[in-house]
Amino acid sequence: MTPSRRQILSAGAIGLPLAATPALVRSQPFTPVAPPRPPLAGLPSRSRTDLSGPWRYVLDPFDVAGRKPGVRRNVWEDRSTTDDGPLVEYEWASSPAIRVPGDWNTADPELFHYDGPAYFQRDLDGPPPDGRRRFLVFEAVNYRSRVWLNGEAIADHEGGFTPFEVEVTDRLRPGRNSLVVRADSRHAPETLPAEDFDWKNYGGITRPVWLVDLPATLIRDVFARLEGDDIVVDVALDGPDAAGAAVTVAITALGATATGRTDVRGIAQVRLAPGALTLWTPEQPALHDLDVTSDQDRLSERMGFRSLQTRGREILLNGRPRFLKGIALHEEPIGPNGGRVMDEAAARALLAEAKALGCDFVRLAHYPHAETTLRVADELGLLVWAEVPIYWEDVAYGSARTLDLARTMTAEMVLRDRNRCSIAFWSVANETPQTPERLRFLREVIGTVRALDPTRLVTAALNKNVDVGGVSDGEARLVVRDELGADLDVIAMNQYEGWYGSRRPGDIAQVSFGSVYDKPLIMSEFGADALAGHRGDRTERWTEDHQAWIFDETLKAISRSGSFAGVSPWLLKDFCSPRRWHGRFQNGWNRKGLIAPDGTRKQAFEVLRRFYRGARPA
């Protein structure tokens, strides 16, 4: 039986109704969807089975199964070929295998440019023990996905970087169960991002998949934050005994324990008063074990606590002004071939380079990065800018469907990550046009962020900056006066002086930067391409010397401007991008990194490190 729309939404899945064909279409009617439920809290402390490993796969480059489903090609039905049955033109047992999590583009050189649908299959064990519930949790599938269990469609999801789950308690049967997942990496005018973006569109089941066992009434969500000297914790239960249940929250190492009781919605708010709480800072990233217990369930979260506010043009961490020393990065591990899989070792290697630069801040562009990365940032002491892929001018800002998708995607990011103390900023956009449709669109997204997490600062990277003229002839003063700034807590500007546009690096000495808003300002992007190892005169483009010169001159201009609360240059590491065509210097890579794909540091790495050593102290 096909599940109802209500069942799918209550399982945390979103996207196309299951009655629709899974084929990607260029325009779809707007159907409002309910906000997603919070993902299962405290996943690392849960009883779970890792479904990583080899999965069988079938490519469907013409989207035949999606457009023309039929017995011969319905791979989700997992039929066996028989001499007296209907013709079946697939066989999972003889199909090639691919590792999950992974992306097909780097798994096989022949698939590097593949963009389209693929189907993945593996077997699952039977139902959970009596009285237990079982959930399938997907940390990310790019871009649009559909899930079948034993031939039954059980979940749809749209968005390549946020998690979704579906309960399979009553759908698992004794013995072998066939799980099939469709991943369609294609983008269209009403997707997020839309059809044009500056990174490699890695397709596949790109983050881990888990089979999670939980009690009948489980702890669904925990949201902990600092309010004054207290820690306030919201706990939401899910199950038949969710209302009127006792919940206990404790940080044992601090001797802090409190108990509450859930209301009719299954929600309780508990307040802890720890006597000697060490606040989290980049210099001392203090983390504490927060244990939550209910009548039937328990979980543990490793988290830190700190306050974050603004005061005029300052950003305050734990009440003290701070100049943020940052770097931007894509979710692509250090290595010669790119790829999407970001396990803990890869995250540590990437963020260790940020720490070596002297950074206390990373901009995770341009989409939600893996939860693993955020947990490592918590531990290493790096403040984080997290972003949704509302990217460039191609987004369908006038589309109700795209707005609904943006709000859902944003909610999925915030609900997953709002317990990560490293998160300082929720970014709702990057380099978007200044139009009335875009302004209305982003204001709706900002409203979603503020409703779900009032404890972080909201920002967006803005690039349509205006030259209002300097004090003297020939001087330029580039300022942010985007109308969206009125809705943001922190203003951020992208400005590539000396690389894009008519000015050369030597002209940057005549440039300053600013904002019309009395709010903190971050230089969220600047930089230049350089091929690692290519040296020459500093006036020669594509050389390390030219990139270092642009960094040096831009950092001087930032210092002269005197209005910045932080910087996050573009960017830490070169990354794959099919829209970068220069055969000698790019060859499918954006070369603005301070390190090469293999980790080799360029000259500009040291320029930025010297600047951070002499930057305004925290």
Which pLDDT score is estimated for 389? 98
Distance of CA 325 to the CA centre of its chain: 21
Task: Please say if the pLDDT value at position 27 is more than 50.
Answer: no
pLDDT digits (tens, 9 = 90+) for 470-523: 778 889 999 999 999 999 999 999 999 999 988 999 999 999 999 999 999 999
For residue 91, CA distances in Å to 80, 113, 116, 450 come to 7, 25, 20, 49
pLDDT digits (tens, 9 = 90+) for 69-102: 988 999 999 888 788 888 999 999 999 999 999 9
Supply the angle between the helices 371-380 and 400-417 in degrees, to the nearest 10. 40
* Contact partners, residue 473, CB within 8 Å, separation at least 6: none
Which pLDDT score is estimated for 367? 98
Which pLDDT score is estimated for 20? 32
Decide: 413 and 391 in contact? Cβ < 8 Å: no
Residue from 187, 183, 163, 175 nearest 57 by CA = 183
Task: Please say if the pLDDT value at position 9 is more than 90.
Answer: no
* Contact partners, residue 552, CB within 8 Å, separation at least 6: 607
**Residue type at position 584:** R
Decide: 346 and 363 in contact? Cβ < 8 Å: no
Q: Which two tokens stand for residue 124?
A: 């699952």
Which pLDDT score is estimated for 11? 29
Task: Please say if the pLDDT value at position 13 is more than 50.
Answer: no
Kindly state the average pLDDT of the residues 358-376.
98
Which pLDDT score is estimated for 374? 98
Decide: 543 and 537 in contact? Cβ < 8 Å: yes
How close are the terminal C-alpha atoms of the chain, in Å? Answer: 59
Task: Please say if the pLDDT value at position 273 is more than 90.
Answer: yes
Task: Please say if the pLDDT value at position 616 is more than 80.
Answer: no
Q: What is the mean pLDDT of the chain?
A: 92
**pTM for the whole thing?**
0.93
Half-sphere exposure of 594 (CA within 13 A, CB side): 27
Residue from 302, 308, 306, 285 nearest 251 by CA = 302
**How far is 319 from 316, CA to CA, in rounded Å?**
5
* Contact partners, residue 34, CB within 8 Å, separation at least 6: 9
Residue with tokens 């203003």: 491
Supply the angle between the helices 344-357 and 603-614 in degrees, to the nearest 10. 60
Kindly state the average pLDDT of the residues 590-606.
98
pLDDT digits (tens, 9 = 90+) for 133-165: 999 999 999 999 999 999 999 999 999 999 999
Q: Which two tokens stand for residue 483?
A: 């109308």
Coil, strand or helix: which one is 264? Answer: coil
Of 83-92, 170-179, 426-435, which gets the smallest average pLDDT? 83-92
Coil, strand or helix: which one is 135? Answer: strand
Kindly state the average pLDDT of the residues 100-117.
97
Percentage of the chain exceeding pLDDT 70: 94
Decide: 422 and 286 in contact? Cβ < 8 Å: no
Which pLDDT score is estimated for 618? 45
Kindly state the average pLDDT of the residues 551-576.
96
**Residue type at position 573:** K
Is the backbone of residue 352 left (phi > 0), alpha (psi -120 to 50) or beta? Answer: alpha
Which pLDDT score is estimated for 19? 29
DSSP 32-55: --PPPPPPPTTGGGSEEEE--EEE
Helix/strand/coil (H/E/C) assignment for every residue in 228-246: CCEEEEEEEEECCCCCCCE
For residue 439, CA distances in Å to 35, 108, 285, 348, 431 come to 22, 42, 37, 37, 13
DSSP 207-221: S-EEEEEEESSEEEE
For residue 429, CA distances in Å to 125, 342, 365, 423, 590 come to 42, 23, 10, 16, 20
Coil, strand or helix: which one is 384? Answer: strand
Residue 330: Cβ within 10 Å count: 25
Which pLDDT score is estimated for 275? 83
Q: Is the peptide bond before 143 cis (omega within 30 degrees of 0)?
A: yes
Kindly state the average pLDDT of the residues 543-564.
96
Residue 376: Cβ within 10 Å count: 22
Edge-to-edge strand ranges of the sheet holding 308-311: 308-311, 314-317, 320-321
**How far is 11 from 519, CA to CA, in rounded Å?**
40
* Contact partners, residue 447, CB within 8 Å, separation at least 6: none
Q: Which two tokens stand for residue 529?
A: 């391409």
Which pLDDT score is estimated for 28? 31
Task: Please say if the pLDDT value at position 1 is more than 90.
Answer: no
Which pLDDT score is estimated for 81? 79
Percentage of the chain exceeding pLDDT 90: 88
Coil, strand or helix: which one is 479? Answer: strand
Decide: 36 and 97 in contact? Cβ < 8 Å: no
Please report which confidence band the pLDDT of residue 7 belongs to, taking 50, 70 and 90 as the band edges: very low
Half-sphere exposure of 112 (CA within 13 A, CB side): 8
Decide: 381 and 284 in contact? Cβ < 8 Å: yes
Residue 458: Cβ within 10 Å count: 18
Going by DSSP bridges, is the β-strand pair 511-515/476-480 parallel, antiparallel, or unpaired? Answer: parallel
Please report which confidence band the pLDDT of residue 35 belongs to, taking 50, 70 and 90 as the band edges: low
**How far is 295 from 248, CA to CA, in rounded Å?**
9
For the chain, state the CA radius of gyration.
25
Q: Which two tokens stand for residue 130?
A: 């009596």
Task: Please say if the pLDDT value at position 246 is more than 90.
Answer: yes
pLDDT digits (tens, 9 = 90+) for 283-329: 999 999 999 999 999 999 999 999 999 999 999 999 999 999 999 99
Kindly state the average pLDDT of the residues 253-263.
96
Coil, strand or helix: which one is 346? Answer: helix
Residue 470: Cβ within 10 Å count: 14
pLDDT digits (tens, 9 = 90+) for 431-484: 999 999 999 999 999 999 999 999 999 999 999 999 999 778 889 999 999 999
**What is the longest distance spanned by two Cα atoms in the chain?**
88
Q: Is 276 exposed, middle or buried (0-12, 13-18, 19+ CB in 10 A)?
A: exposed
DSSP 485-531: GGG-SEEEEE--TTTSSS--GGGGGGEEEEESSSS-EEEEE----B-
For residue 349, CA distances in Å to 6, 342, 386, 572 come to 42, 10, 19, 12
**Looking at per-residue confidence, does 589 or 2 come out higher?**
589
Q: Is the peptide bond before 369 cis (omega within 30 degrees of 0)?
A: no
